[in-house]
């Protein structure tokens, strides 16, 4: 048996040298690698979930307790019919470069969500907004299995501040390859794109869209927000949506 370890200063350790087999060493290294790559879990409350889809409420890190104006106007009563109307207003088209446009022209616009997707999402998003706290945002995730290791995903999120709906379409019918091991990002972070976006997003009526400008510095620092902002008062002036959002007094 090996004796205790002895250091140059004369300190003797009662611990014996650790001996690992090559297999155990590989296992230890893999465990440390996966632990180092792991990202924190986003706190969430499930509103709806089935084997391939979900709608949930996530803690929004941009809402700061010490800054009340950062809080959202949740909970909010908005009917499934109103949500369905908003979802029907989003259109997408394949993004093409200038050269592609010169050769083939712009791609045609098409609905961002199918009728089946709207039927599934509208009542669940309505329910989620009615349950959401001022420091939460709604996340949605739709998927269709393609193979045992691939699925087509559409995902994003939304929240409401004052009279404005902030809507995120992070992924739209993106083919996601499920990794053999490690982090499954698409379900854990539904608002984050899993690949470069290959689509342009449009909402109608156009007058309801709030133009937002982001400078080069915002993009470099990651402060540019990937979301469409809609003024709910310009959709249907007498709708229940606008009547349930309280007026914000000027500061």
> Does residue 102 lie within any of the structural domains?
yes
Report pLDDT for 104.
Answer: 82
Report pLDDT for 16.
Answer: 40
Report pLDDT for 42.
Answer: 61
> Does residue 32 lie within any of the structural domains?
no
Report pLDDT for 33.
Answer: 44
Report pLDDT for 129.
Answer: 98
Structural domain harbouring 149: 41-244
Nearest CA-CA partner of 186 in 233, 154, 218, 225: 154
Global model pTM greater than 0.95: no
Can you tell me the distance from the alpha carbon of 158 to that of 242, in angstroms, rounded to the nearest whole number?
Answer: 17
How many Cα atoms are found within 13 Å in the side-chain-facing hemisphere of 103? 5
> Does residue 28 lie within any of the structural domains?
no
> Does residue 77 lie within any of the structural domains?
yes
> Does residue 3 lie within any of the structural domains?
no
Report pLDDT for 196.
Answer: 85
> Does residue 239 lie within any of the structural domains?
yes
> Does residue 233 lie within any of the structural domains?
yes
Can you tell me the distance from the alpha carbon of 243 to that of 77, in angstroms, rounded to the nearest whole number?
Answer: 10
Report pLDDT for 178.
Answer: 85
Report pLDDT for 14.
Answer: 41
> Does residue 251 lie within any of the structural domains?
no
Report pLDDT for 5.
Answer: 43
What residue ranges of the chain have pLDDT lower than 50? Answer: 2, 4-20, 22-39, 217-224, 238-251
Report pLDDT for 225.
Answer: 64
Report pLDDT for 141.
Answer: 98
Based on C-alpha coordinates, what's the Rg of the chain? 24
Report pLDDT for 36.
Answer: 43
Q: In total, how many domains does the chain have?
A: 1
Bond from prior residue into 75 cis (ω within 30 degrees of 0): yes
Can you tell me the distance from the alpha carbon of 212 to that of 124, in angstroms, rounded to the nearest whole number?
Answer: 28
Can you tell me the distance from the alpha carbon of 217 to that of 103, in angstroms, rounded to the nearest whole number?
Answer: 33
């Amino acid at each position: 048996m090996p004796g205790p370890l002895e250091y140059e200063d004369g300190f003797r350790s009662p611990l014996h040298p650790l001996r690992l087999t090559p297999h155990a060493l590989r296992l230890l290294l893999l465990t440390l690698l996966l632990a180092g790559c792991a990202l924190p879990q986003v706190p969430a409350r499930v509103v709806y979930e089935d084997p391939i889809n979900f709608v949930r409420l996530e803690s929004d890190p941009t809402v700061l307790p010490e800054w009340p104006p950062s809080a959202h106007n949740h909970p909010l009563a908005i009917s499934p019919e109103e949500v369905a109307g908003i979802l029907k207003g989003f259109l997408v088209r394949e993004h093409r470069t200038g050269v592609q446009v010169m050769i083939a022209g712009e791609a045609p616009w098409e609905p961002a969500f199918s009728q089946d997707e709207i039927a599934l999402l509208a009542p669940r998003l309505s329910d989620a907004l009615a349950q959401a706290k001022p420091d939460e945002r709604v996340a949605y995730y739709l998927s269709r299995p393609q193979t045992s290791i691939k699925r087509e995903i559409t995902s994003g999120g939304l929240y409401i501040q004052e009279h404005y709906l902030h809507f995120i379409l992070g992924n739209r019918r993106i083919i996601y390859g499920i990794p053999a091991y490690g982090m499954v990002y698409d379900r854990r972070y539904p608002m984050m794109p899993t690949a470069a976006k290959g689509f342009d997003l449009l909402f109608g009526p156009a007058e309801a869209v709030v133009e937002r400008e982001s400078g080069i510095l915002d993009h470099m620092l990651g402060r540019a927000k990937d979301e469409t902002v809609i003024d709910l008062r310009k959709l249907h002036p007498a709708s229940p949506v606008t009547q349930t959002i309280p007026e914000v007094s000027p500061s």
